[in-house]
């Protein structure tokens, strides 16, 4: 049993933060990884841009689209390409989904980032993607902006599986969990709906470390590399309070599933930090860790399997509170991270559309 499979024994699922046409083809890389313990897949505009730009695997489908004579925009062409990949990944993970009774084996597809501050547009786009993929184990990704959180409640009430993404703060997490529960409460039957709350990790340390280095005091510098995991531990404690509490208990009796916390951005950005620190430090029951392939390999090689999320939680709260003592505002850092995260994905999507426009010209030529 490898270490990814051992994590599953402790109640944590590992999802792969990567997708491409090549890894989906038999006897593709994803099928092998599922056999080795991978239990889901996440995607985003950056991942798709690398997949399309890095190969000619999508040329045949682009040629078919051109041959239909449809005058589609690059955004519309991308959606067709993405839906095809997501459907194939869902089919590869269907056995996991069935064996888990609908509680695992999901593949995520993201609403366009330019809709992050548009509730109505997000709802329309999520419905379209849900219908286009047409698989029970698809999750539609919606950013946790104020407008996106409103959309989450509406979409869950309609029975869609939702991955709420780009979360950095405890306050935003609480709002997301409340939106999910409100969506379930509006349904006569809340069963067979799944959701994850994607909480970003490594970016928190990157941003906070920069702020601490700007302060420059010895007291500030000794706090580097500690914020992200402390932040995550507080979120997990709140998850336990919400989904093991009285309000959700009524829904659980009707078959509702808790909204698992998903740890995202778990590759280490700072080469001075251990390459598995955002896996080793974030292990706990009923959670997901989505990892890029290199992090999966590193963890299987030298990661540590032990429940760590419930250790030192009071100390984590004290640490987050102490950031203000050295001149760093936790609220400002996390708000900036969300704003920058939305913009980064929007920029990646524009790069992706430009890549697809180039591919269309290449194939047509």
Burial class (CB in 10 A: 0-12, 13-18, 19+), 245: exposed
Read off the pLDDT band of 70 (50, 70, 90).
confident
Task: Give residue 53's pLDDT band: very low, low, confident or very high (50, 70, 90).
Answer: confident
What is the reported pLDDT for 318?
A: 98
260-274: pLDDT as tens digits: 999 999 999 999 999
**33-55 mean pLDDT:** 92
Q: What is the pLDDT of residue 76?
A: 94
Q: What is the pTM of this model?
A: 0.96
pLDDT band at 204 (very low <50, low <70, confident <90, very high): very high
Read off the CATH number of the domain in which 178 is found.
Answer: 3.20.20.70
Q: How confident is the model at residue 365 (pLDDT cuts 50, 70, 90)?
A: confident
CA-derived radius of gyration, the chain? 20
The pair of three-digit structure tokens given for residue 255, joined into one six-digit string: 């078959």
**pLDDT for the residue 183:** 98
pLDDT tier for residue 11 given thresholds of 50, 70 and 90: very high
Convert the pLDDT of each residue in 110-158 to its tens digit: 999 999 999 999 999 999 999 999 999 999 999 999 999 999 999 999 9
Residue 92 predicted with pLDDT over 90: yes
Check residue 152 and give its pLDDT: 98
Distance CA 303, CA 267 (A): 13
Would you give the distance in Å from CA 171 to the centre of its chain? 18
256-312: per-residue pLDDT in tens? 999 999 999 999 999 999 999 999 999 999 999 999 999 999 999 999 999 999 999
- Residue 339, pLDDT above cutoff 80: yes
How do beta strands 287-291 and 260-264 pair? parallel
d(CA 243, CA 177): 9
What rounded mean pLDDT belongs to the chain? 96
Structure tokens at 200: 């970003």
pLDDT at position 69, please? 78
Place of tokens 């184990």: 137
pLDDT at 137: 98
Identify the pLDDT of residue 91: 98
> Does residue 189 have a cis peptide bond before it, meaning omega lies within 30 degrees of 0?
no
Domain that holds residue 50: 3-364
- Catalytic residue list contains 141: yes
Residue indicated by tokens 């599986």 = 161
pLDDT of residue 27: 83
Judge whether residue 72 has pLDDT over 90: no
Percent of residues, the chain, with pLDDT higher than 90:
92
Overall size of the chain counted in residues:
365
- Mean pLDDT of all residues in 22-45: 94
Q: What is the pLDDT of residue 46?
A: 87
Number of domains composing the chain? 1
Quick count: other Cβ atoms within 10 Å of Cβ 272?
A: 8
Looking at residue 28, its pLDDT comes to 84
Token pair 């046409």 is found at 21
> Does residue 54 register a pLDDT over 90?
no
Given pLDDT bands bounded at 50, 70 and 90, which one contains residue 213? very high
Give the count of beta carbons closer than 10 Å to the beta carbon of residue 109: 28
**Which residue(s) pair with 139 in the sheet?**
108
Judged by average pLDDT, the poorest of 2-6, 27-31, 183-187 is 27-31
Q: Where are the alpha helices (DSSP H) in the chain?
A: 3-9, 21-24, 29-35, 45-53, 59-67, 74-92, 94-99, 119-133, 146-157, 170-185, 202-215, 218-221, 227-243, 246-253, 277-280, 293-302, 313-322, 330-364
Check: CB of residue 173 under 8 Å from CB of residue 235.
yes
- The residue from 3, 141, 207, 233 that is catalytic is 141
Of 46 and 191, more confident: 191
Phi/psi region, residue 332 (left: phi>0; alpha: psi -120 to 50; beta: rest), is alpha
């Amino acid at each position: 049993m490898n270490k990814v499979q051992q994590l599953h024994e402790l109640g944590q699922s590992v999802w792969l933060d990567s997708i491409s046409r090549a890894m989906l083809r038999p006897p593709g890389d994803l099928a092998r990884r599922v056999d080795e313990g991978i239990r889901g897949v996440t995607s985003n505009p950056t991942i798709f841009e690398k997949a399309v730009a890095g190969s000619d695997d999508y040329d045949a489908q682009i040629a078919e689209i051109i041959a239909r004579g449809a005058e589609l925009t690059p955004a519309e062409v991308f959606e067709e390409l993405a839906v095809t990949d997501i459907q194939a990944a869902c089919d590869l993970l269907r056995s996991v989904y069935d064996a888990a009774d609908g509680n695992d084996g999901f593949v995520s597809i993201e609403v366009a980032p330019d809709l992050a501050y548009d509730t109505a547009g997000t709802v329309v786009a999520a419905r379209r993607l849900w219908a286009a993929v047409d698989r029970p184990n698809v999750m539609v990704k919606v950013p946790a902006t104020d407008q996106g959180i409103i959309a989450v409640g509406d979409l869950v009430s309609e029975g869609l599986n939702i991955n709420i993404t780009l979360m950095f703060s405890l306050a935003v997490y609480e709002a997301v969990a409340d939106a999910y529960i409100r969506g379930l409460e509006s349904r006569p039957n809340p069963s067979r709906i799944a959701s994850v709350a994607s909480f970003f990790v490594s970016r928190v340390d990157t941003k906070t470390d920069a702020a601490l280095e700007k302060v420059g005091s010895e007291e500030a510098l000794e706090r580097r590399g500690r914020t992200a995991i402390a932040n995550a531990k507080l979120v997990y404690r709140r998850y336990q309070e919400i989904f093991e509490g009285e309000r959700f208990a009524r829904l659980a009796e009707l078959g509702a599933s808790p909204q698992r916390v998903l740890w995202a951005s778990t590759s280490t950005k700072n080469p001075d930090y251990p390459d598995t620190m955002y896996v080793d430090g974030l292990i706990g029951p009923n959670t997901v860790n989505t990892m890029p392939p290199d992090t999966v390999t590193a963890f299987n090689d030298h990661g540590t399997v032990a429940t760590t999320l419930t250790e030192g939680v009071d100390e984590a709260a004290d640490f987050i509170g102490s950031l203000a003592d050295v001149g760093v505002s936790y609220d400002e850092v996390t708000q900036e991270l969300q704003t920058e995260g939305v913009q980064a994905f929007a920029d990646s999507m524009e790069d992706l559309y430009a890549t697809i426009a180039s591919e269309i010209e290449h194939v047509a030529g």
